[in-house]
């Protein structure tokens, strides 16, 4: 598979939306926000619930498009909207295995001995989010820290410990 370079234009590093011309701004804001929001929620919940949460958060954003420009950190806020929207479902989903897509690369290791998708699901939540966002999606530590509301030093720890655990799991199978 051809590896596409990371899109460095994260909404977190951009100035906040200033105008109230909501319809136009909403579309442009969403075009920037949708991808990272979805990456974050999928990293947390797996592909099924993650996509559901993203859709719910975007729906909420449309309902509140007039207020979006007030947010310092729209993606962090919408990330929490997505989390809350899953609450009714999570009561009975809690103990279920997370569903991550299988690693499908067209390279020679298409069916490597241990699939990354299954290993990622076994990391703990913080480590999984940090490792996926930083190493799979190319976020900076500061962006992840803003999203989760923790210090970037803590993100560093999660990434390093998570990556180490990932290597161990990949090795052990």
Partner 1 sequence: MKTSDPVLDRLQAYGNTIDGIPMRAPTFGAVTRPTSNGRNRMVGSAMALAAVFSLLAFGLTRSRVPIGLSKRESVAALQQVDLPPVLQGVDTVFPIVGGGSFVDSFGAKRTVGTKYAHIQQGVDVFVAQGQAIRAMRAGVVSRVGRAPLAGNRLWITGEDGTSYYYAGLEIFANGLRNGQKVEIGQLLGTVGPIPAGSTEAVDPPHLHLEIHLHGRGPVNPTPLLTALQESNPPPDLLLGDSVNGIVVTVEATKPLRDLIRAAEVAEIRLSGQGFRSPAEQLARRRANCGPSPFDVYVKQASQCRPPTAKPGGTHLRGIAVDFTAGGRGVSEGSAAHRWLVKNASEFDFVGINAEPWHWEYRPSVAP
Which residues are near partner 1 by CB under 8 A? Answer: 1, 3-6, 26-27, 30-31, 34-35, 38-39, 42, 47, 51-52, 54-64, 77, 80-81, 83-85, 87-89, 101-105, 107, 109-118, 120, 131-132, 135-138, 163, 166-167, 170
DSSP result, 45-98: H-HHHHHHHHHHHHHHHHHTTTTGGG-S-HHHHHHHHHHHHTHHHHHHHTTSPP
- Under DSSP, the state recorded for 149 is T
Distance CA 138, CA 127 (A): 15
Nearer to partner 1, 71 or 154 (CB): 71
Residues 6 or more apart in contact with residue 142 via CB below 8 angstroms: 12, 152
Nearer to partner 1 among residue 69 and residue 138 (C-beta): 138
Residue closer to partner 1 by CB (options 18, 109) is 109
Contact 34, 88 (CB under 8 A): no
Smallest distance from partner 1 to CB 104, Å: 6
Q: Which is nearer to partner 1, 14 or 104 (CB)?
A: 104
To partner 1, the closest distance from the beta carbon of 84 in angstroms equals: 5
């Amino acid at each position: 598979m051809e590896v596409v370079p990371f899109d460095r234009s994260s909404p977190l590093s951009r100035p906040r939306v200033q105008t109230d011309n909501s319809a136009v701004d909403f579309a442009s804001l969403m075009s920037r926000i949708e991808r990272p929001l979805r990456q974050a929620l999928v990293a947390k919940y797996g592909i099924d619930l993650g996509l559901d949460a993203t859709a719910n958060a975007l729906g909420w954003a449309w309902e509140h498009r007039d207020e979006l420009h007030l947010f310092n950190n729209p993606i962090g806020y919408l990330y929490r909207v997505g989390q809350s929207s899953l609450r009714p479902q999570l009561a009975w989903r809690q103990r279920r295995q997370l569903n991550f897509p299988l690693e499908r690369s067209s390279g020679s290791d298409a069916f490597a001995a241990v699939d990354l998708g299954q290993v990622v699901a076994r990391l703990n939540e913080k480590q999984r989010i940090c490792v996926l966002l930083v190493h799979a999606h190319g976020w900076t530590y500061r962006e992840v820290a803003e999203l989760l509301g923790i210090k970037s030093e803590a993100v560093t720890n999660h990434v390093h410990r998570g990556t180490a655990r990932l290597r161990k799991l990949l090795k052990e199978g």
